[in-house]
Chains A and B, each alone.
Chain A
Amino acid sequence: MKQTSIKARYLVNLAAALLLFALAVVIGMTGGSTMKLKITPSLWQCSYLIIMAASLNLVLGFLGQLSLGHCGFMAVGAYAASLFSLALQRAGFYTEKSGPAFMLVLLLSFLIAGASAALLGLLVGIPALRLKGDYLAIITLGFGMIIVNLINNLPFCGQQGLSQGSASSALYATGLGFSNDEKMQYLWVAALVVILCMTVMFMFVRSKYGRCIRAIRDNEIAAAASGINVSYYKVMTFTISAFFAGITGTLYACCNASLSTTSFAFTNGSILNSVFIVVMVVVGGMGSLTGSVIAAVVLFLLNYTIKNGAWVAALPAFLQNVFTYPMLVYSIALIVVIMFRPRGIMGSREFALCDIPKWPAWISSYFASRGLEKSAKKEAANHG
């Protein structure tokens, strides 16, 4: 009985994923100029924000450790993918950004980016064995900064890259960097990567691995006393989380003609920084992968309207100033969410397509229980 219902759920999700993928292919073939200039670049940005948020959620929401250097892993992935593809391009392995040779390069770029970030994740995971909470947060912050600092000082990561480079915070060439046309043409790649990454993360979380990680989050000592190898699972989570962050680096390298380490800092003017990823995870729900996806998309859209919306110009001068630095808005939103829903809006609940028919019942029961709580409180107050 339960088995069949799970199968039904898988089928519904598979259908949804195929639909998404087909949509990306169709857009790539038929999209007009708005599609090309505005929507497609946004979809690419969303694709890496979604995976970033979800992969950070593995560490922050499921393992319960704050990592403040998540963008560092993305930086490693982005640079690894760019330099790798650049090397092959200069070697003449491919010239056009199409054809089987390029597809192979693209595939390898994803894998190399993921692997190099995972290796660093492993390195960060080791301090996680001895430290937790605040201290670990600082260590991850430090790691993120060291990564950026080192990349800035590596000659082959700067300017024209590889043998033609000199130490610099910017890499002016990536072998991937798609034009708007190519972004549209390869939109399916972004869609496919998101679908695959999200599926793998879901399967990971909904298995004995996910169970162990959550057990460690809830009570590390009890987890060890239940036979869970705490060290192993901690390092594993950090590594896997870093792996996916590395993959997003490739997506980022595809999106941009040049890379700059400031894009991967702890904080910066744009929304691609480690703190903003934390905002996404917390607002979406610590322990809810779908929450992260929704939060990434919603916050991206919010940021987009703040940056490009005509309505901002109609506001009084002070508010306009506020919206010029939208991190203020996000930070306040973050604090408010934490005050009222400490585990984020979705908490650890997951959005499921098959559950939509049940929503009305859930909502009414939620309000009913709220009512009960209130009346119980009143009664208690009366008795007191």
Chain B
Amino acid sequence: MITFIQFLITGLRLGSVYALIALGYTMVYGIIKLINFAHGDFIMVGGYSLFFTIPIMMNVGIPGWLAVVPAIVVCACVGMLVELLAYRPVRKTGNNLTCLITAIAMSFVLENLAQAIPAIGPDPKVPYTLFAKTISVGGVAISHATIITVAVSAVIMAALYFFTQKSRIGCAMRCVSEDKEAATLMGINVNHTIIVTFGIGAGLAAVAALMYIAQYPKVFTTMGATLGIYAFVAAVLGGIGSLPGAVLGGLLIGIVQSGANTYISSSMSDTFVYLILIIVLMIRPAGILGKNVGEKV
């Protein structure tokens, strides 16, 4: 029983991180119909930003977790730069396929650029451990990191939901994702909206990075690639383009992975994640909560 609860808690914690990352995928996909492969690498950017700023903050006497603020700024800037320098020019000349290939290439640019920077290099680094304390409830150990991860994720998801539903810019985002041309005619600055979306998505990745390194205190240049793929699977599973779907998918993937680790074999957990993805896509191509939009004839 305790193993079961422990597995659920691990799954929930992992799932919350995936959900945060998946939100970024989903927001970008919703607006420009592009799988932003580089999104996973924004986490890496956030991770390194945290790695460098946490000690500085601690030295000055500010709580370490506040390093997430500069990390968000850095990530948002990187996200917007990627959109400006790569995606926007390609969108003008190419089709969906070329955009997708650009996204994959961009992911490689970020990873390999990071490796080429001497201060980062290819070897993993260990950041300062945050929220390390644990509490015990009825024999089940729960770390502060777990509680904070789940709580912060929940708050952010709720805030994001209200943001897209109620705020002006959130409304603009929904308009652009429905119909770019109509949005332009309604006086919405489409490019501006897309940039903001990238900024927010990448900012979320920075928060996810904080949560992730609180659990697994290690940063390395390819950390985003695997993490990003799981989160992406989560976004697709939940129905890409749908915010609640991303959360649902994230939690599901987290629990499946933790279940496979606990009960089957950690080396097979990848296979389970992808099998679930393939099965869901075969049965419901638009994901669990996604809308099935066919091509108009």
Please report A residues at the B interface, Cβ cutoff 8 Å. Answer: 60, 64, 66, 68, 127, 130-131, 133-135, 137-139, 141-143, 145-146, 149-150, 152-153, 167, 221, 267, 275, 278-279, 282, 286, 317-318, 321-322, 324-325, 327-328, 330-332, 334-335, 338-340, 342
Contacts and interface: CB of A to CB of B under 8 A. Distances in A.
B148 interface: no
Given A127-B282, A221-B295, A150 B112 contact: no
Contacts of B229: 141
Which one of A137, A279, A335 has the greatest number of beta carbons of chain B within 10 Å? A335
B66 interface: no
B106 to A, nearest CB: 7
B118 A146 contact: no
Tell me what chain A mostly uses at the interface: helix, strand, loop, or mixed.
helix
B184 interface: no
Interface residues of B, number: 49
Contacts of B155: none
23 contacts: A66-B101, A127-B278, A130-B281, A138-B277, A139-B278, A141-B229, A142-B277, A145-B274, A275-B108, A278-B101, A282-B101, A321-B116, A321-B118, A324-B116, A325-B122, A328-B108, A328-B109, A328-B115, A331-B108, A331-B112, A335-B86, A335-B90, A338-B93
A66 B29 CA distance: 17
A132 to B, nearest CB: 9
A289 to B, nearest CB: 18
Contact of A275 (B86, B104, B297): B104
Contacts of B149: none
B283 to A, nearest CB: 9
Contact of B115 (A130, A134, A325): A325
B35 interface: yes
Interface of B: 29, 33-35, 86, 89-90, 93-98, 100-102, 104-106, 108-109, 111-113, 115-118, 122, 222, 225, 229, 232-233, 236, 265, 267-268, 270-271, 274-275, 277-278, 281-282, 285, 295, 297
A40 B268 CA distance: 38
Given A134-B96, A318-B118, A221 B108 contact: no
A191 to B, nearest CB: 31
Given A328-B116, A331-B112, A130 B236 contact: no
Nearest to B89: A339
A277 B7 CA distance: 39
B278 A133 contact: no
The 4 residue pairs across chains A and B that have the minimum distance between CB atoms: A328-B112, A142-B274, A331-B108, A321-B116
A189 to B, nearest CB: 33
A48 B268 CA distance: 29
A139 B222 CA distance: 21
Given A66-B97, A66-B100, A335-B102, A130 B285 contact: yes
Given A127-B282, A331-B108, A338 B236 contact: no
A153 B275 CA distance: 16
A332 B97 contact: no
A64 B95 CA distance: 11
B94 A130 contact: no
A69 B34 CA distance: 19
A318 B229 CA distance: 29
Nearest to A141: B229
Highest count of chain B CB atoms <10 Å: which of A131, A142, A282, A328: A142
Given A153-B271, A328-B115, A335-B86, 13 more contacts: A127-B282, A133-B96, A134-B96, A138-B236, A142-B233, A286-B97, A318-B116, A318-B118, A331-B106, A331-B112, A332-B105, A339-B89, A342-B93
Given A324-B116, A332-B109, A338 B267 contact: no
